[in-house]
Amino acid sequence: MNQTKIASSVLTSALVLGATGFILGFVGPLILTPNANQGPLLGIFITGPAGFFLGGILGLAIGIIREYSQEKEQLRILRLVPKVWTWLLWSSAILAAAVILFGIIYIPWHESKCSPIVNSRTDLQKRDKSLTKINARSLSDADIMLLQQFSQLNYLDFYVGYAKEAKLTDAGLKII
């Protein structure tokens, strides 16, 4: 048996499945639950290492099958297994690339429409009017009138996570 080819199969499979697992576990939660701040940890600690480990084991099995099927002429059907595996590795790499591309497009769009963090009048005008929570940072008294557009608003915070002094005065609070 050619140990170099088996090692190559193990390494290739581990890297491709590990990277795919990492990408799906990291970018997937950013797409599905964008406000969950610990979502990407799934890719870092679970799906990435699990994909790497599983890819290594499956790569070992495929490498052994590839070498064994070349030695035994009567087992031609086994030659299909490495070809199918190569197709699956390419498919997972394409899936990972598609998830990255979708994330690059979707995440900024979602952030601009649905993020509860508002830093300016322009941010406030861009947000979806069905937001129920807004963290209004740096809004002035003149910007407060724009909050009336958010008919489902039930949580308004002027301070969370921000160390700058607010532009809001008592006059703006009276409007609220």
pLDDT of residue 2: 87
**How far are the Cα atoms of 34, 110, 147 from residue 102, in angstroms, in the given order?**
14, 12, 31
**DSSP for 7-53?**
HHHHHHHHHHHHHHHHHHHHHHHHHH-TT-TTTTHHIIIIIHHHHHH
Radius of gyration of the chain (CA): 26
pLDDT of residue 160: 61
pLDDT of residue 169: 81
CA–CA separation, 137 and 38 (whole Å)? 23
| Cβ(156)–Cβ(136) below 8 Å | yes
* Sheet with 117-118, edge to edge strand ranges: 117-118, 133-136, 155-157
pLDDT tens per residue across all 176 residues of the chain: 789 999 999 999 999 999 999 999 999 999 998 878 888 999 999 999 999 999 999 999 999 998 888 777 767 788 899 999 999 999 999 999 999 999 999 999 888 888 888 888 888 888 999 999 888 877 888 888 888 899 999 998 877 655 566 677 888 888 87
CA–CA separation, 41 and 77 (whole Å)? 41
pLDDT of residue 93: 97
